[in-house]
């Protein structure tokens, strides 16, 4: 008989606020597309699904926000209606205030240093202590590939002073804080509205790695990119606590192994694709401009000067112990 994991299903009981755990399929949702070359989240999901297939477990993938945008998918995961959701950092911060600590700019420079920091600290335990209250279990992170830098439509950025008064799209208030410390004029714009903001001049740039711009189809909207090596872009692997807890011990082992397989595949992909994404944006007409000597240090100093405005100083002191 086919072995199955008991994933969440939408039924009449969901209308009363109770998740029904009766489907044969593991429901996985994410915002991206089923593209193994360009989409980091799907690279994780594909390997996750292949690992579970070894146990005759079927994974049903819902891409492109088909089960709802970030907040919708978060709520459905919390309720047990989605088994695994790949979310952005903003959704994680909805579940855990402490999680903002891991997303401080210039805390780490790449995926490897981020992974060492998480492994050596009790970061996941701290996050899950808070997230579990909302029915969420954070199992790890899938990386977008490459490190954060500045894209813009106005001019090459080679010095910190070049950013002065530049209208940068900010994801949230945390980004407003450190972009303001750079001397920029940030404005919060949703990612869905960012292309329109770039075309209308509401924003003239944003803070992302090349992989994000390629995956989002924004290459033709931007003209310049400055690598800052300000850190990787972790996507959050959220597991429904209700769903996971309902599994047998053996099934939990399958899921744990599948998550590990997915993360390993994602990291291999991220390392291999960095040069591809950089070449892709250049082929699309984006000029890559390096910072002058000593200028990255100025970005680092300005960013770190406001870390304690984003998270408590005690959290900064704690996590800094585990950074290379």
Angle at 46 between CA 42 and CA 50, to 5 degrees: 170
- Residue pair 148/179 in contact by the 8 Å Cβ criterion: no
Other beta carbons within 10 Å of 62: 15
Smallest CA-to-CA distance from 208 within 196, 222, 193, 220 is with 222
What was the pLDDT predicted at 324?
A: 83
* Cα–Cα distance measured from residue 49 to residue 142, given in angstroms and rounded to the nearest whole number: 15
195/309 same-domain check: yes
Position 63 in a domain: yes
Task: Return the structure tokens found at 30.
Answer: 């994410």
Backbone angles phi, psi at 104, to 5 degrees: -65, 130
Q: Where in the sequence is the domain holding 243, given as residue range(s)?
A: 7-145+234-273
Give the distance from CA 205 to its chain's centroid.
19
199/214 same-domain check: yes
74/184 same-domain check: no
86/203 same-domain check: no
Task: Return the structure tokens found at 209.
Answer: 């790695």
pTM over 0.85: yes
292/176 same-domain check: yes
- Residue pair 281/210 in contact by the 8 Å Cβ criterion: yes
- Residue pair 134/95 in contact by the 8 Å Cβ criterion: yes
101/242 same-domain check: yes
What was the pLDDT predicted at 24?
A: 63
175/66 same-domain check: no
171/313 same-domain check: yes
Position 1 in a domain: no
Q: What is the CATH number of the domain that holds 118?
A: 3.40.190.170
CA distances (Å), 279 to each of 149, 181, 274, in order?
15, 31, 9
- Residue pair 215/194 in contact by the 8 Å Cβ criterion: no
- Residue pair 7/27 in contact by the 8 Å Cβ criterion: yes
Spans of the chain, pLDDT less than 70: 1-24
Count the domains in the chain.
Answer: 2
68/214 same-domain check: no
Position 41 in a domain: yes
Position 2 in a domain: no
């Amino acid at each position: 008989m086919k072995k199955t994991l008991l994933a969440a299903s939408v039924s009449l009981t969901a209308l009363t606020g109770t998740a029904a755990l009766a489907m044969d399929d593991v429901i996985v949702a994410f915002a991206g597309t089923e593209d193994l070359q360009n989409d980091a989240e799907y690279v994780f999901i594909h390997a996750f699904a292949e690992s579970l297939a070894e146990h005759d477990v079927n994974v049903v993938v819902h891409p492109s926000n088909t089960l709802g945008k970030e907040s919708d998918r978060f709520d459905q995961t919390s309720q047990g209606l989605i088994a695994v959701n790949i979310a952005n950092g903003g959704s994680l911060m909805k579940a855990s205030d402490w999680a903002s600590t891991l997303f401080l700019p210039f805390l780490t420079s790449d995926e490897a240093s981020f992974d060492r920091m998480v492994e050596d600290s009790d970061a996941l335990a701290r996050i899950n202590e808070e997230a579990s209250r909302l029915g969420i279990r954070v199992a790890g992170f899938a990386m977008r590939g490459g490190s954060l830098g500045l894209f813009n439509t106005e001019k090459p950025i080679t010095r910190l002073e070049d950013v002065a008064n530049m209208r940068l799209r900010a994801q949230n208030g945390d980004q407003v804080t450190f972009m303001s410390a750079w001397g920029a004029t940030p404005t919060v714009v949703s990612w869905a509205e960012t292309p329109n903001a770039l075309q209308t001049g509401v924003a003239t740039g944003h803070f992302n790695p090349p992989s994000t711009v390629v995956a989002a189809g924004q290459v033709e909207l931007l003209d310049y990119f400055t690598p800052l090596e300000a850190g990787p872009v972790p996507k959050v692997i959220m597991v429904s606590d209700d769903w996971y807890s309902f599994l047998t011990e053996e099934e939990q082992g399958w899921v744990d192994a599948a998550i590990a397989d997915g993360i390993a595949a994602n990291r291999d992909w991220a390392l291999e694709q960095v040069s591809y994404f950089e070449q892709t944006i250049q082929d699309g007409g984006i000029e890559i401009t390096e910072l002058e000597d000593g200028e990255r240090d100025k970005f680092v100093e300005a960013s770190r000067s406001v870390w304690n405005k984003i998270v408590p100083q005690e959290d900064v002191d704690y996590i800094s112990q585990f950074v290379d």
